[in-house]
Structure 1
Amino acid sequence: MRFSERPGILRLAARNLLRNPGRTLVVLLGVMVVAGTAFAGGLIGRGVSFAVSRGLERLGADLMVVPEGAAEKTHTALVMGLPTAFYMEGAGRLEAIRAVEGVAAASPQIFVETLASSACCTGHLMLVGYDPETDFTVKPWLRQNLKRELAPDEVLVGNHILGVTGDPLLFYGSTFRLAARLDPTGMGMDETVFLPAPAVWEIAERSRELATEPLEIPQGHVSAILVKLEDGADAAQVAAEIERRLDGVTVITAGEIARSVADDLSVLMASLLPVLISLVLVAVLLFVILFFAIARERTREIGLLRAMGATAGQATGALVLEAGLLSALGGLAGVLAGSAVYGLFKEAIMVSYTLPFLYPPGAEQTLLAAAVVAVAAAGGVLAAAVPARRLARLEPHEAIHAH
């Protein structure tokens, strides 16, 4: 009698899984937890890297010059969008920075922390006033997407701020219209409102009469000066030269922002890795024990299959295929569960570790999910291969009379 080929083995493996649903469910849950943790960890790593890449690209500056002691607040504002406000004398510093060798352009920005308009959101948010004459971060986006400059009563908002084009937004008693929304970056710019600096000074002037609490900005002061370097200029050297020439400032490089995020990410991964390793070890041990038990139960069955003409590989193939199928199903369930659970707790995780996040492209997520499922399936196959190899060495009559 010719032993049936792979379709028959597949049916046998599926039937064996359903034979003991309780045991199958326990193993499925074990693999699901491991796969879910691995997928969530991979998603965090890729999402953070993608957000930093997109955010720094949108920022468009190589350096940021801020008042001494404001670096941490600036980092938190850039990464998480937590509003902040600080000021330093602007005109003199701006000219001094432009005179530094390697600087191609420099443009000031003004940060304002404001109570959000109920039309767009709740809590506080940050207004960023840019200089229309020298800006090289906001204006390129306006030219490419809005195809025009902002009107005096218009603002550009980050992706997370609610509202549609034309909606009114109220800041310190002054009303503005939402002109456009930026694409998502996963960083603090998603929580920020951009408007020309003259409009910020106008808000401050009007706030004395229109707002409960007036906006006070020292005349001639700015919050930060964004710097674009010439091609080939060394960011660290230019930053050091600016700090040498100017008192009371700190220079933040784009590389420092990326490294700071990478350090925060490594802290999260360091706490996640021991958990993942422990779960993997437990899952592998569970699989080995389980399939040794299953192999013992089916020794006579495999002996009969061998006696009917099946090769050793065919007879034990159902056992190995069963392990691979169960592991793949657990991996798929883990990917779905890990994605859902991470989606629920993403904000808490990102805020706790001061991390930006932007879901990577769908193709990357699919590739990551496929890799997790494939590794889970391969792990199950390897765990079942040990008892399967032992069974394959038995002669048919030994297997039949093993019990």
Structure 2
Amino acid sequence: MRSSLAPGLVRLAARNLLRNPGRTLAVLLGVMVVAGTAFAGGLIGRGVSHAVTRGLDRLGADLMVVPEGAVEQTHTALVMGLPAAFYMEGEEALAEIRSIEGVEAASPQIFVETLASSACCTGHLMLVGYDPATDFTVKPWLRHELGRELAPDEVLVGNHILGLTGDPLLFYGSTFRLAARLDPTGMGMDETVFLPAEAVWEIAARSHELATEPLEIPQGHVSAILVALDDPADAPAVAEEIAQRLDGVAVITAGQIARGVADDLGALMAGLVPITLALLVIALLLFLILFFAIAQERSREIGLLRAMGATAGQSVRALLLEAALLGALGGTAGVVGGGAVYALFKEAIMVSYTLPFLYPPPGEQMLLAAGVVLLCAAGGVLAAAGPALRLARLEPHEAIFAR
């Protein structure tokens, strides 16, 4: 007889959830909000970390040398892809950097901010001109994915830029063809167009006749110098050496980029974590109130089960199972809802906090979702344990005639 009680308890727990739908729905919504907030927070944390790792790997540089005062613009351009344009003298700086011990390679880049006018440009984008002779960031990808160099009228675009291979793109009146698209990184490179520096100079020269506004770049100037080191651990020392030797420049390390993102993420989490904890406390209180009421209402039912031969543990298992089901249902709904809401507002959140984002692999997302659901179910069982244990201590006749 006892073995036949288990399926009955499962049916009883499921049926009991529908006895008072209003009360059950209130608890379900509380758990759903907690689970959705927790899942969105976890997704943001893992997505930002994933994007930083992928983006810095794609950048391929240990240091970036930029004009003094352009650090914030550079960070925003690298992280979010917001167009930026600033320039510094290039030839002397390159020679000086290459002479420093520990520097393996140094390559210049030119940043161009396009105009939004359709008569001039294909959208408001950031162009990055690289030097094919010295580049160590764009060319390896081209060799691996495209198998060749870019033609004079071709460009390489970030993953978020619209268009198909061969489509025309207009920059300051000059037309280029889309040759290939980079894999997603979650960082600013997804919003960037790459082309040889020589093509940038040609765009600038032709823009006086073809564009609504000419592109002006000081002759011999560059926007940034990317530096690769023999030993990445020497980055702080080499950065200090460059800053001492060159006037009017700032040196950004890969670690500074990662720390800047971590600080921005911390600012977001500083607001999100207290909200999640407050919601969690509210949800646990709702569980406690609900199951104290349920235990009181069903004491006679539990007493009858005990009189029929059920043990104390079996007699309250339906309450705990009911709590686990309610927590799991709320957790599942919260994961689905939290993921959907975050997808709708992802761009606004990332821009507001200057954060990169790249969805983690599906397996990692599933593990995160499963963890949230399991925690919700465990939280429900924990909250219901007090009322259930209190009921289990009653003798069958006490439970049947309890008021």
TM above 0.5, yes or no, is yes
Task: Map 1:286-301 to 2 at 5 A.
Answer: 286-301=286-301
Structure 2, unaligned runs of 5 or more: none
**Aligned residue number for residue 188 of structure 1:** 188
Q: 1:330–1:122: structure 2 CA closer, same or farther, 3 Å change rule? A: farther
Alpha-carbon offset, residue 115 of structure 1: 2.1
Q: Which amino acid aligns with 1:52?
A: V
Alpha-carbon offset, residue 4 of structure 1: 2.2
Q: 1:337–1:232: structure 2 CA closer, same or farther, 3 Å change rule? A: closer
2: CA distance, partners of 1:117 / 1:177: 19
Task: Map 1:161-310 to 2 at 5 A.
Answer: 161-231=161-231, 233-310=233-310
**Aligned residue number for residue 141 of structure 2:** 141
Q: 1:202–1:19: structure 2 CA closer, same or farther, 3 Å change rule? A: same
Q: Give the conservation status (yes or no) of the 8 Å contact 2:62–2:232.
A: no
**Aligned residue number for residue 327 of structure 1:** 327
**Aligned residue number for residue 33 of structure 2:** 33
SS at match of 1:30: helix
2: CA distance, partners of 1:122 / 1:273: 41
SS at match of 1:106: strand
1:363 paired to 2:340: no
SS at match of 2:315: helix
**Aligned residue number for residue 8 of structure 2:** 8
**Aligned residue number for residue 47 of structure 2:** 47
SS at match of 2:143: helix
Q: 1:308–1:118: structure 2 CA closer, same or farther, 3 Å change rule? A: farther
Q: Give the conservation status (yes or no) of the 8 Å contact 2:122–2:169.
A: no
Alpha-carbon offset, residue 194 of structure 1: 0.1
Alpha-carbon offset, residue 24 of structure 1: 1.2
Count of residues paired in the alignment: 403
Q: Which amino acid aligns with 1:228?
A: A
**Aligned residue number for residue 396 of structure 1:** 396
Q: Give the conservation status (yes or no) of the 8 Å contact 1:102–1:233.
A: no
Q: Give the conservation status (yes or no) of the 8 Å contact 1:3–1:308.
A: no
1: CA distance, partners of 2:252 / 2:2: 74
Task: Map 1:93-132 to 2 at 5 A.
Answer: 93-115=93-115, 123-132=123-132
So what's the TM-score if we normalise by structure 1? 0.98
Q: Give the conservation status (yes or no) of the 8 Å contact 2:306–2:312.
A: yes
Question: Which consecutive aligned stretches of 4+ in structure 1 deviate over 3 angstroms post-superposition?
Answer: 116-119
Q: Deviations over 1:346-366 (max 9, x none)?
A: 011000000000100000000
**Aligned residue number for residue 377 of structure 1:** 377
2: CA distance, partners of 1:230 / 1:6: 66
2: CA distance, partners of 1:286 / 1:364: 31
So what's the TM-score if we normalise by structure 2? 0.98
Q: Deviations over 1:219-245 (max 9, x none)?
A: 100000000000365100000000000
Q: Give the conservation status (yes or no) of the 8 Å contact 2:122–2:171.
A: no
Alpha-carbon offset, residue 212 of structure 1: 1.4
Q: Which amino acid aligns with 1:73?
A: Q
Structure 1, unaligned runs of 5 or more: none
Alpha-carbon offset, residue 9 of structure 1: 1.2
Q: Give the conservation status (yes or no) of the 8 Å contact 1:117–1:171.
A: no
Q: 1:379–1:135: structure 2 CA closer, same or farther, 3 Å change rule? A: same
Q: Deviations over 1:173-232 (max 9, x none)?
A: 100000000011111000000000000000011111111111110110000000000036
2: CA distance, partners of 1:116 / 1:179: 22
Q: Which amino acid aligns with 1:184?
A: P
2: CA distance, partners of 1:123 / 1:28: 46
Alpha-carbon offset, residue 2 of structure 1: 3.8
2: CA distance, partners of 1:3 / 1:287: 29
Q: Give the conservation status (yes or no) of the 8 Å contact 1:3–1:309.
A: no
1: CA distance, partners of 2:77 / 2:215: 19
Q: Give the conservation status (yes or no) of the 8 Å contact 1:129–1:194.
A: yes
Q: Which amino acid aligns with 1:131?
A: D
**Aligned residue number for residue 88 of structure 1:** 88
2: CA distance, partners of 1:232 / 1:270: 32
**Aligned residue number for residue 354 of structure 2:** 354
- Identity across aligned pairs (percent)? 81
